[in-house]
Copies of this chain bind each other. A is one copy, B any other.
């Protein structure tokens, strides 16, 4: 049984990432770190570049420094914050890993778990919501299957709800500034109350005016206002109670069958 990991969300904006390799796996790595706005150095002979890697290099000339050669020496690690290797030659990977460990630079060697300080997993993104599904290296495919299950159950409103709560929190911090201490705790408690009392759907339907009302009529008075007080119209989608349709279908069928059963008697 492998050791549990600590799952963390890394801010790579303007961090320097070294990717060694240019194949299919390397292209996935490159895509992931570019999405997090990292600055990348990619080392790989041009011959080994996957079309997807080539594409990403062309699309991000200002964020990727490309070196058309193999990994050469420890100088390639100069100023690097994180290393990702995805090459077939395990000996070179092992050599890079040794250099990285001496310098305490976090490293991931694709497909060789013992040489990894961290693992990638299946990731979901919906606006500011990010979800990582990891099986601790036991089964990437099952991670992917579970990811799809989770994705299909996520409400559509989730990204918008998070965005609106982010705006509300930022405006609240302007009204009641300061880090930590009593005001920090009071802010935190109020935000928790808001999230507990409002549904994701209702939070998603908040507009600028509604946010101001929540602060004016809610925060200022030490309470959480309702959706109607915030001027949010009731949910536009009329929702039948659960099971309405199956019960109705059953009712009609039962009625019909009973009618048919009685018909001969009525004729008599």
Residues of A within 8 A of B (CB): 1-13, 15, 32-33, 35-38, 81, 88, 90, 104-106, 111-112, 116-121, 123, 125, 128-136, 138-139, 141-143, 145-146, 149-150, 153-154, 158, 161-163, 165-166, 169, 179-181, 184, 191-192, 195-196, 200, 203, 243, 246-259, 262, 265-266
Q: Complex formed: what's the CA distance from A200 to B262 in Å? A: 48
Which residues on B sit within 8 Å (CB–CB) of A249?
247, 250
Which residues on B sit within 8 Å (CB–CB) of A251?
250-251, 253-254, 257
Q: Is the CB of B158 within 8 A of A9?
A: no
Q: Complex formed: what's the CA distance from A244 to B230 in Å? A: 41
Q: Complex formed: what's the CA distance from A143 to B120 in Å? A: 20
Which residues on B sit within 8 Å (CB–CB) of A165?
138-139, 141-142
Q: Is the CB of B200 within 8 A of A117?
A: no
A70 CB to closest chain B CB (Å) equals 17
Q: What 10 A-B pairs are tightest by C-beta distance, nearest first?
A: A250-B250, A254-B254, A7-B132, A138-B166, A5-B9, A251-B254, A254-B255, A258-B258, A246-B246, A247-B250
Which residues on B sit within 8 Å (CB–CB) of A150?
131, 150, 153
User: How many copies of the shown chain assemble into the complex?
Assistant: 2
Q: Is the CB of A10 within 8 A of B90?
A: no
Contact of A6 (CB < 8 Å), options: B33, B169, B196: B33
Q: Is the CB of A111 within 8 A of B179?
A: yes
Q: Complex formed: what's the CA distance from A153 to B90 in Å? A: 40
Q: Complex formed: what's the CA distance from A121 to B128 in Å? A: 12
Q: Is the CB of B129 within 8 A of A134?
A: yes
Q: Complex formed: what's the CA distance from A256 to B154 in Å? A: 40
Which residues on B sit within 8 Å (CB–CB) of A13?
3
Which residues on B sit within 8 Å (CB–CB) of A180?
88, 90, 111
Ordered by A's residue number, 17 sampled pairs between the chains whose C-beta atoms are within 8 Å are A3-B37, A5-B9, A6-B32, A6-B38, A7-B132, A9-B134, A9-B136, A10-B117, A88-B180, A106-B106, A111-B179, A139-B166, A142-B200, A142-B203, A243-B243, A251-B251, A251-B257
Which residues on B sit within 8 Å (CB–CB) of A163?
138
A93 CB to closest chain B CB (Å) equals 10
Q: Complex formed: what's the CA distance from A256 to B32 in Å? A: 61
Q: Complex formed: what's the CA distance from A238 to B97 in Å? A: 52
Which residues on B sit within 8 Å (CB–CB) of A179?
90, 111-112
Q: Complex formed: what's the CA distance from A39 to B169 in Å? A: 36
A133 CB to closest chain B CB (Å) equals 5
Q: Is the CB of B129 within 8 A of A4?
A: no
